[in-house]
Amino acid sequence: MDNIIRTDYTEIMQKSYIDYAMSVIVARALPDVRDGLKPVQRRTLYDMLQLGVKYDKPFRKSARIVGDTMGRFHPHGDSSIYESLVVMSQEYKKGMPLVEGHGNFGSIEGDGAAAMRYTEARLQKITQEAFLADLDKDVVDFVPNFDQNEEEPEVLPVRVPNLLINGAEGIAVGMATSIPPHNLVEVIEGAKLYMKNPNITTEELLGTMQGPDFPTGGVIVNKDDLLSIYKTGSGKIKVRGKVVLEKTKGGKEALVITEIPYTMVGAGIGKFLNDVANLIENRVTTDISDISNQSGKDGIRIVLELKKNADAKKIEHMLYKKTKLEDTFGVNMLTVADGKPEVLGLKAFFEHFTKFQFEITTRKYRTLLKEANKKKEIQEGLIKAYDMIDLIIEILRGSKNLKQAKGCLVSGNTEGIIFKTKSSEKRAKALSFTEAQATAILEMRLYRLIGLEIDTLEKEYKKTLKDIAHYEDILTNEKTMRNVLLKELDGFKREFGVPRKTVIENAQEAVYEETFEETELVVLMDRLGYIKTVDVSTYERNKEAADNENVHIIRCMNTDRLCLFTDIGVLHSLKILDLPYGKFRDKGIPIDNLCNYNSAEERLLYVEAGQNIYEKKLIFATKFGMIKVVNGSEFLVSKKAVVATKLLEEDRVLFVEEVREEKPQVIFKTENGAFLRFLVDEIPEKKKTAIGVRAIAMAQGDFVEQGWFVAGQNSETIMYKEKEIALSRIKLGKRDGKGVKLRL
């Protein structure tokens, strides 16, 4: 009979979710502080080494690499592996690319890489020498792969501070990492400083390691904030593109963007061009005559041609304020340290890096010492054998088999062996070679008996003794080991170091004051919620079509704000300048994209421009029969969304209308067929935060269904129970009355 374990459901959910979260954090999304790699990157590089796709070998198809990695080490789909391979090859994303790509591996402007069957790849030289070397020397632990059929390294023995050099980005469960790339030379110098003095301060480290070095260049403008960022491991870096002023034909000038912020890599360039085009179309600036993207193999070159006498510095500041030419890079140096996620400051990172370097170096030289001692043992045996080669030959000739000969060499057992003389047998009994030495002697080739060969062997033996002394010195003397590490780091710096690309300074805040000519526009919104603005003359020329195609047509100034009242009692407000300006037949933009209005959950009741509203009085009526008048000046707000009226629970606004002298009466109709007519003057004026007063007394479960504003004497009719009814039949009553039911 099965055992039934009773437990709290919340405990199971909590444990399962934590297990899942930790799996994603440690095994998928975050890099390890030791090698700066995520599992998919580590496995891809290791697989490339296993396939022999080295920097000095021919390229191999990316599909071959991806398939082999997925089949042996990373069973999570080929797209994640190929994407990792592509990113590791892109020099505009990585401070130090780890893979050399051949073919279309995408572009800085956001073009995707070609399919993996078309591209080829191989390891970069630094990857092979600083990431994958010494794996055969037991420098790191190997763990079983996903199906227990092979082993993979738990971490790569990376000899440079890769996490800082290449940076990292990743989204885990409830946390994310964002580490900017840095300059290899500066990071190595920082690591050396820490190795020499673990008590060094972050300020002293930043004296050598200035800050991030983005592969796209640019200018970091908040240098003073870097100390806090590197102490805590989190903060915000402001980075600008590099802009130069060039003279063009005809005495005009052009602003040329030669470097972009790192955050603009990819689709950001296209968005920047669109943003500048929108600034021109919306007349935020009239000083840019043309914009062109002339970027190519030589780098970024975006040209903004200026009109004569344009203020270039003002336009540059406008670009910083209105586009992503100045952007923020959020730093969160979250990484897996000692098996758990941790946000590290700069000094803490170097502490982990140094500890790892000492660990893998210790393991490396222990292995080398072990191998050198074995080599020494064999060399001593061979030298000793050379001095008694005649005896050994006599033992071999007199032995019946290999086992008998080896036994004599190791333990002096001469039983069954035929010797020429008793003295030879006596000397044989004194032999005491080790197992390894005896094996080497028996496998020795005859040419090793040549005189010159023994000289070579003795030289090799002396070198082995020297190596052993060196290895022992490294393993027993911390200073010697540190010097070895420093020398290795210097070697990587000399061979792979590149000049810094990003400038770091304390720049002044970009100041830009919008100045534009106040003009009259017409706002058009159609039934689907698409909105745009056009010139008054454009509207007048197309008035008939505009009136037929749009539900909201509002004349206003370009300095106004557009106010949208919805049935959930919210006022959405946005600048007229934020609306797309264009031709009459332009489609416009959905209003949902411009403000917090949600067409799926809200219904627009009233739309008007701010200056037109502020001098009016608006009537709010709700489904539960509440009503009030609000002065329009209360809606003079700058926020994108505010409460326009307070509502009871589950109540909705039925309509919003302005108070008009020509329509001084209001009529309500409830779902149960009660009609009430009363004067607008009976409606009290309240604040926008008030619920209002009761307009009609309704039976329980009844609610207001419709409402009309009418003149004193009107001939308006409505359809009621499939019959046409004149509103004039409804007698004038008082607010908060029960109303009457019409007899048909």
- Active centre residues (catalytic): 118
For the chain, the residue count is 744
* Identity of residue 200: I
CA nearest 170: which of 44, 335, 34, 349?
A: 335
Please tell me the distance from the alpha carbon of residue 555 to that of residue 612, in angstroms, as a whole number. Answer: 9
Within the chain, what is the greatest distance between any pair of CA atoms?
148
CA pair distance 311, 507, nearest whole angstrom = 20
Closest alpha carbon to 361 in 139, 172, 513:
139
Q: What span, in angstroms and rounded, lies between the C-alpha atoms of 413 and 62?
A: 61
C-beta separation of 738 from 684 below 8 A:
no
Query: In Å, what is the CA distance from 490 to each residue of 35, 124, 350, 474?
Result: 18, 19, 16, 18
Q: Under a CB-based contact definition with an 8 Å cutoff, are residues 384 and 433 in contact?
A: yes
- E-strand stretches of 313-463: 326-332, 334-337, 340-343
Q: How far apart are CA 17 and CA 12, in angstroms?
A: 8
Q: b vs e for 335-357, b when ≥16 Cβ sit within 10 Å of the residue's Cβ?
A: bbbeeebbbbbbbbbbbbbbebb
DSSP for residue 445: -
C-beta separation of 644 from 572 below 8 A: no
- For 294-336, give the secondary structure using H, E and C: CCECCECCEEEEECCCCCHHHHHHHHHHHCCCEEEEEEECEEE
Backbone angles phi, psi at 74, to 5 degrees: -130, 85
Q: Six-digit token pair at 116?
A: 């993996």
Q: Which amino acid appears at position 177 of this protein?
A: T
Residue 98, C-beta contacts closer than 8 angstroms, at least 6 positions apart: 41, 45, 88, 89, 123, 124, 126, 127, 131, 166
The dihedrals phi and psi of 557, each to the nearest 5 degrees, come to: -95, 155
Q: Which residue, chain included where needed, has tokens 């279309």?
A: 104
> Helix-strand-coil percent breakdown of the chain, rounded to 5?
40, 25, 35
Helices (H) and strands (E) in the chain, counts: 21, 35
